[in-house]
Structure 1
Amino acid sequence: MSISAIEGIGGAAGVSGIFPTSGVQKASGLDDDWATTSSQGVGSDFATALSNGIENLQATQAKSDQLAVKAATGDLQDLHDYTIAATEASLATSLTVAVRDKAVAAFTEIMRLQA
C-alpha cells in the first residue's frame, strides 16, 4: 500500500502494503511525455490506484476485526498479532483520510481559481 507513485509520500510511516505501486505512473514522470499521454489513461490509472487502495484498506480492517474476535474469544495465541494488525488498520485509515483531505482541498482550490 505504498503511495510511492505519488512523490513525497512513498514509504510514509511504513505503510507499504496499502496502496499498490504496480501499474501506477509516477506523478513527476508526467512532465517528460505529458503531451503524448492521454488524460483518460492517467485518470484511469489514478482511479485504479485509489480503488485498489480502498480495497486494501478494507482488507486490513477486516483482518484486524478477525484478530480482535479471536483475541476476545481466547483463540489468538499471540496477542501482538492483533496489536500490529490494529495499528496497521489505524495507520491505513489515517493515511486514507489525509489523502482524501488533500484531494478535497485541491478540488476546492481549483474551484476557487475558476470563479
Structure 2
Amino acid sequence: ARAASDVASARAAGSEIESSAPIMACDCDLVTPVRVLAGVATLYATKLSFRPDVALAERRAAEEMEQWQHRGRGERPSVKGARDREWALAALHEVHRRRYLLRSCAIELFFRDT
C-alpha cells in the first residue's frame, strides 16, 4: 500500500511540475485605464502572468512627471510602482480580438470576479 501511495504522490508532484512550466511567453503591453506598462506575458497551464519591465516603467513615469511639471497644470501622474500580476485561467470569461487599420493588434481578456 505504501508503494501505491508513493507512486500517487510522485504522479501528483510530476503533474504539479508540468503545470508550473511556461507554455508561452511574449513581450507585450498591459493597457489599463490609468497607464500602459511594457513587460512580458507568460502563459501557464492554469494561469496567465504579467511581469513589467521595471526599468522602462520608471523611465516612462519620470518622463510623465517631467511633462506634468513643465505644463504646470492637469492631474498629477500616478507614482505607483509597477507590480507583477497573475490571473487564473479558470476565471477567464471572454476573449476579444482588437483590430486597428484592419490589422489584429491586441486581445482583450475578460475575467469573472472571484
- TM-score if structure 1 supplies the norm length? 0.28
Higher Cα Rg, which structure: 2
Structure with the largest fraction of helix: 1
